[in-house]
Amino acid sequence: MKLTDLDIIVTAPPAPGWGGRFWILVKLTTACGITGWGECYAASVGPEAMKAVIADVFARHMAGENPENVELMMRRAYSAGFTQRPDLTVIGAFSGLEIACWDILGKARERPVWALLGGRMNDRIRAYTYLYPLPQHPLPAFWNDPDMAAEAAADCVARGYTAVKFDPAGAYTIRGGHMPAMRDIARSAAFCTRVREAVGDRAELLFGTHGQFTAAGAIRLGHAIAPAQPLWFEEPVPPDDIPAMTRVARGQPVPVATGERLTCLAEFTAVLRAGAAEILQPALGRAGGIWEARKIATVAQAFGAQIAPHLYAGPVEWAANVQLAAAVPNLLMAETIETPFHDALIGGTIRVENGFIAPPEAPGLGIEVDEALARAHPYTGDGLHLQMQEAPCDYVGEAIFEGGAPAPR
């Protein structure tokens, strides 16, 4: 087998846009006609620029190569231009391409990817979901309302979920960590209290932030939400400040989780060595792909840490996450996003049933991508997948983080 052709599709999920403004899907084809799908989660440049990066990475490091040689291709991309260090954009491009290689390998061998990663360790994968508004919940008020969050959490539990995530601690900014406003702390504590009352002991609370606090601010916030016993405190400080994250892990009682914005084994290993987190959340479309994530999971196992693959993207990255989750012994749970568009794009080939995912038995990633549907929803905007505000923390007005899908202005 040799990789010969690359196609890139940038598709925009219809409103309300859960999963981001756009998804970058890649399709690889071998000389013998086998196709594989992947998804790139890197989002630090616009989609047209990212398409050029993906094409360059493929042409430079992968075209004409046997798709089995994922380690060799990874070392080429990782070392390109005299780097040999994590590069978020280049490795993000490679990640999606690497996922497509595994899809090809599974199809060539008529086996699911998990069977090529050491076999199936988990017959059922515990899923968790972000709290999204129910039909009666107005936007943007939902994002700051503990009572509406409690109703949404109760609905999730009724559908079988045993863990729900929410992030009411205010907007995140380009300025780095800040001290949370007292109203942000109070709102966060109220969310945890109300959601805990709504779900009782039937579900875990996953407290999300976006690296927006200083270590001191995160420690204050962690103590405020601790009475509700959240399972994790996600990315409490900027991801580039590992010593600060270590201080947070040691300075308050809620376990720290991180990883959505990290890439490659080197960055995750640095977190583990510092004792900065006990739960790692690699996003496979950014972290280096399936094989790199398998290494991350193995090193995490040696440190007694667990894996909870992150998802704020489309269903192709989710399918890759599911394949990894099926194979690793230190799995905690996997994030999922349920929308009609996510489901239709892969023809319902992977679904959450009563809060759990059954690893697919079909070859490769176990999905069938509706290419026509993806092309029918092109991205025409100019915003990035996710964007941080430039204004500082507002200590007077109400700060709202709109769930990754801001309302049109």
pLDDT in tens, 245-292: 999 999 999 999 999 999 999 999 999 999 999 999 999 999 999 999
pLDDT value for 292: 98
180, pLDDT greater than 90: yes
User: Quick one: tokens of 139?
Assistant: 């936007």
Give the domain ranges of the chain.
116-364
Q: What's domain 116-364's superfamily in CATH?
A: Enolase-like C-terminal domain (3.20.20.120)
pLDDT tens digits along 95-106: 999 999 999 999
Q: Reduce the secondary structure of 284-335 to three states and give it as a string.
A: CCCCCCHHHHHHHHHHHHHCCCEECCCCCCCHHHHHHHHHHHHHCCCECCEE
pLDDT value for 389: 86
Q: Which of 211, 256, 238, 269 is nearest to 86 (CA)?
A: 269
406, pLDDT greater than 70: no
Region 203-232 average pLDDT: 97
Region 202-228 average pLDDT: 97
* pTM (2 d.p.): 0.97
pLDDT tens digits along 108-125: 999 999 999 999 999 999
Average pLDDT, the chain: 95
Share of the chain above pLDDT 90, in %: 89
Region 27-48 average pLDDT: 95
